Amino acid sequence: MKNKWSVALFLIFFAIALSAQQVGTISSAGGFFKNSSGSVSFTIGECFVGTFNSANLILSQGFQSELIITDVQEVKQLDFEITAFPNPVKGLITLKVENPKDLYYILYDLNGGNIEKKTIDNAESVISFENLAPSTYFIKVFQKSFEIKVIKIVKQ
């Protein structure tokens, strides 16, 4: 009789220990993105219960979210103007910079693909959109390694 109670108690504790375990991830989709400022990974369609927080990790019910910030850059206040015109554009666009010291730009498509990277040497730079498909593009202007301006451009 003692053995039956021992076995029953063991099974009860075993069942409690199993039910206390987290439900694992069953993912149907997800992704991972990384740049110089940090990374984000996510999964969709999983079966996870609970929300757990730490300094650089947030895990939530229904979605696994991880945000790791590796480098926080100070936001620079510009003491000069950067403009792009005409916008929307059909062929050529002019990027006008009052102070072109240590500047360069990177032209990105809507998916984040790098199309062109050039140094800005003059107060006015001409960027050709003639061979690009009608879409939305982004010109990111950098001073040394700091992103100082993002300009949304619509190509007709």
CA distances in angstroms from 151 to 51, 106, 109, listed in the order given: 37, 11, 12
For 75-95, the pLDDT digits (tens) are 556 667 888 999 899 999 999
- Taking the CA atoms of residue 94, residue 98, residue 103 and residue 108 in that order, the dihedral angle to the nearest 10 degrees is -30
- Let me know if residue 90 belongs to a domain: yes
Q: What is the pTM of this model?
A: 0.52
Q: Do 31 and 94 share a structural domain?
A: no
- Let me know if residue 129 belongs to a domain: yes
Q: Do 90 and 30 share a structural domain?
A: no
pLDDT score at 58: 59
Q: Do 65 and 47 share a structural domain?
A: yes
CA dist 55 and 77 (Å) reads 28
Split into its structural domains, the chain has a count of 2
For 115-146, the pLDDT digits (tens) are 999 999 889 999 999 999 999 999 999 988 88
Q: Do 67 and 86 share a structural domain?
A: no
- Let me know if residue 110 belongs to a domain: yes
pLDDT score at 101: 83
Q: Which residues face 155 on adjacent strands?
A: 89, 135
CA dist 104 and 116 (Å) reads 11
Q: Do 107 and 68 share a structural domain?
A: no
- Let me know if residue 40 belongs to a domain: yes
Give the CATH number, domain containing residue 96: 2.60.40.3080
pLDDT at residue 64 tops 50: no
- Let me know if residue 145 belongs to a domain: yes
Q: Do 107 and 141 share a structural domain?
A: yes
Domain interval for residue 102:
82-155
